Amino acid sequence: MTVFDLIKVYEGPMNVLNDANVNLSDVRHIELFREYLRMKKEGHKLTYIVAFLVDEYSVGQATVYRIIDKFSKPVKV
């Protein structure tokens, strides 16, 4: 299979992601966001959640806030 073949197979979903300004590299942050949702549901404060995620995933504070903001935005499909 070539890159072209792979893109052809997933063309529809990839167009939806592209229209929503989602980068393929955002996939690497799925676990971080799942952890954020779990901690938020448990009632932890945002400041504590961000500090925990910064330490747990070795990313910057601004990166965590950016991920939370981006992954929380509604998307028209």
What are 19-28's pLDDT values in tens digits? 988 999 999 9
User: pLDDT value at position 63?
Assistant: 97
User: pLDDT value at position 5?
Assistant: 95
With vertex at residue 36, the alpha carbon angle to CA 32 and CA 37, rounded to the nearest 5 degrees, is 120
What residue ranges of the chain have pLDDT lower than 50? none
Cα–Cα distance, 29 to 31 (Å, whole number): 6
Q: What is each CA distance from 32 to 18, 27, 36, 48, in whole angstroms?
A: 21, 10, 6, 14
User: pLDDT value at position 75?
Assistant: 86
User: pLDDT value at position 42?
Assistant: 98
Query: Contact 62/50 with Cβ under 8 angstroms?
Result: no
